[in-house]
Amino acid sequence: MLPPMTGAGGRARFPFHPFPTGWYLVAFSRDLRPRAVRTLKLAGEELVLFRSESGRAALLPAHCPHMGAHLGQGGRVRGEALRCPMHGFEFDAQGSCVATGYGTRPPPKCKAQALTVLEQNGLVLAYCDVLGRAPEWQPPEVDMQGFGPLRTHVFAGLPTHPQETTENSVDIGHLGVVHGYEDVRTLEPLRTEGAYLTTRYAFSRRALVPGTPAVRAEFTIHAYGLGYSYVDVDVVSHGLRSRHFVLATPTDGEHVDLHVAACFAGRGKLARVPGALLDRVLGAVMFKGFLSDVIQDVPIWSNKIYVQPPALAQGDGPIGRYRSWARQFQPDALALNTPS
Ligand code: FES
Ligand SMILES: [Fe+2]
205 pLDDT tier (thresholds 50, 70, 90): confident
Domains and CATH numbers, the chain: 17-128 (2.102.10.10), 151-329 (3.90.380.10)
Q: Which residues contact 199 (CB under 8 A, 6 or more apart)?
A: 170, 186, 188, 189, 190, 191, 220, 221, 318
Residue nearest (by alpha carbon) to ligand 1 atom 3: 87
For CA atoms 299, 156, 333, 3, give the dihedral sign.
negative
What is the pLDDT, as a whole number, of residue 262? 97
Residue count of the chain: 340
CA–centroid distance, 75 to ligand 1, in Å, is: 10
Q: Is the CB of 107 under 6 A from ligand 1?
A: no
CA–centroid distance, 147 to ligand 2, in Å, is: 24
Ranking 14-28, 79-93, 198-212 by mean pLDDT, the lowest is: 198-212
pLDDT (tens digit, 9 = 90+) per residue, 44-66?
Answer: 999 999 999 999 999 999 999 99
Q: Is the CB of 74 under 6 A from ligand 1?
A: no
270 pLDDT tier (thresholds 50, 70, 90): confident
State the virtual CA torsion across 201, 206, 209, 211 in degrees, nearest 10: 130
Contact 26, 125 (CB under 8 A): yes
Note residues around ion ligand 2 (Cβ under 5 angstroms): 168, 297
With a pLDDT cut of 70, the percent of the chain lying above it is 94
Ranking 12-16, 293-297, 303-307 by mean pLDDT, the lowest is: 12-16
What is the pLDDT, as a whole number, of residue 208? 67
pLDDT (tens digit, 9 = 90+) per residue, 148-173?
Answer: 999 999 999 999 999 999 999 999 99
Contact 50, 57 (CB under 8 A): yes
Q: What are phi and psi of 314, to 5 degrees?
A: -60, 135
Q: Kindly identify the ligand whose nearest atom is closest to the C-alpha of 72.
A: 1
What is the pLDDT, as a whole number, of residue 167? 98
CA–centroid distance, 99 to ligand 1, in Å, is: 11
Q: Is the pLDDT of residue 337 over 50?
A: no
Contact 25, 41 (CB under 8 A): no
Q: Is the pLDDT of residue 68 over 90?
A: yes
CA–centroid distance, 236 to ligand 2, in Å, is: 20
What is the pLDDT, as a whole number, of residue 314? 95
Q: Is the pLDDT of residue 239 over 90?
A: no
CA–centroid distance, 98 to ligand 1, in Å, is: 13
Residue nearest (by alpha carbon) to ligand 1 atom 4: 87
* Most informative mutation of 63, 84, 91 for ligand 1 (most atoms within 8 A of CB): 84
What's the CA gap between 244 and 242, in Å, rounded?
A: 6
Q: Is the CB of 67 under 6 A from ligand 1?
A: yes
What is the pLDDT, as a whole number, of residue 237? 85
207 pLDDT tier (thresholds 50, 70, 90): confident
Helix (H) / strand (E) containing 10: none
State the virtual CA torsion across 150, 155, 161, 167 in degrees, nearest 10: -50
Q: What is the mean pLDDT of residues 279-305?
A: 93
